[in-house]
Structure 1
């Protein structure tokens, strides 16, 4: 189970670091993210900037906590990630249910409107965070070489999650 912790941490580090970078890479990227939060219309429009800051801060906290090689830090990272992803999943599901054409700004600039595929991606990430949480509670000895393989696997899965829109569009062809 500890290898699930390692893979989960690397997946979350990859996903949340890319998501955060896409939002804060430029003033325009940030403004587009804030506007997408407003357009989602799941909170009061005036609270959108604060919600955007809270989202970015939570993403940064997940990355920092997941990098710290202590069990408690990993547990906190998985709990925070599951909570954040749960909230985001509910918000995206509300947008999809309304049929609103709000672009996904999860990883920066994108014209792809939020859809069922985004809900599915977020549910996969919630499940990953919960599995990682279970793994972070396990005890035992880790083989360093296998740990490295598992870490690369987790980061690779994180890259696939970050390119989810592209994967879904390829499968629709």
Structure 2
């Protein structure tokens, strides 16, 4: 089991870093994207208008910093710990919006189509679990990360998992049964 820990760490690094990088990029894609995120914070999360811009900037900076730290070997444990903290806050925010029945589409990855729901909470819990496992394995690890084909495969698997989590809404739409209206039924 100890031999697999560096690869588990690498996979967790990839899933969390890719997800945070995509989330950060969507929010900082331009003035309009950032303004939409800031307005969403005020409306959906009830952040006071005077604090929305600094909170929005803080979220973008924190995601970027955590993603970057996960790519620098000496900073990996700090990156994971930052990710755990951020994901805990994001998960609480999503659950709060679900409980308040917020109907505004989620802005986690830019312009979402669905309001916060169970898939958003599950995605955040999966990411929180990956960040937590990564933190434990990174802190327990000794020595530099391996640089072999298995490490590349672990990174690729983590990146693929991140892409699936990022596009979870679309994947759910693909597998969700189509609603048939009474006019369409035989």
TM superposition score category, shorter chain reference: over 0.9
Please give the per-residue CA displacement for 1:72-120, whole angstroms capped at 9, x wherever unaligned: x110111101100100110111111011112111111222111111011
- Which residue number in structure 1 is paired with residue 83 of structure 2? 81
Q: Give the CA RMSD over aligned residues.
A: 1.5
Q: Which has the higher helix share?
A: 1
1:34 and 2:33 matched: no
Q: Judging changes above 3 Å, is the alpha-carbon distance between structure 1 residues 29 and 143 closer, same or farther for their aligned structure 2 residues?
A: closer
Equivalent in 155, 158, 166 of residue 162 of structure 1:
166
Report the equivalent of 2:135: 133
The counterpart of 1:3, out of the listed 3, 7, 16, is 7
* TM-score, normalised relative to structure 2: 0.86
Structure 2 CA distance for aligned equivalents of residues 87 and 45 of structure 1: 19
Aligned match for 1:59, one of 23, 44, 63:
63
Q: Which has the higher contact order (CA 8 A, sep 6+)?
A: 1
Q: Deviations over 1:10-47 (max 9, x none)?
A: 11121011111111112111111111111123433321
- Corresponding residue SS for 1:67: coil
TM-score of the aligned structures, taking structure 1 as reference length:
0.93
Q: Which runs of 5+ in 1 are unaligned?
A: none
Tell me whether 43-52 or 123-132 shows the greater mean CA deviation: 43-52
- Aligned residues, how many? 171
Instruction: Give the structure 2 partner of residue 69 of structure 1.
Output: 73
Report which of the two structures shows the higher radius of gyration computed on alpha carbons: 2
Matched, 1:111 2:132: no
Whole-angstrom CA distance in 1 between matches of 2:35 and 2:71: 28
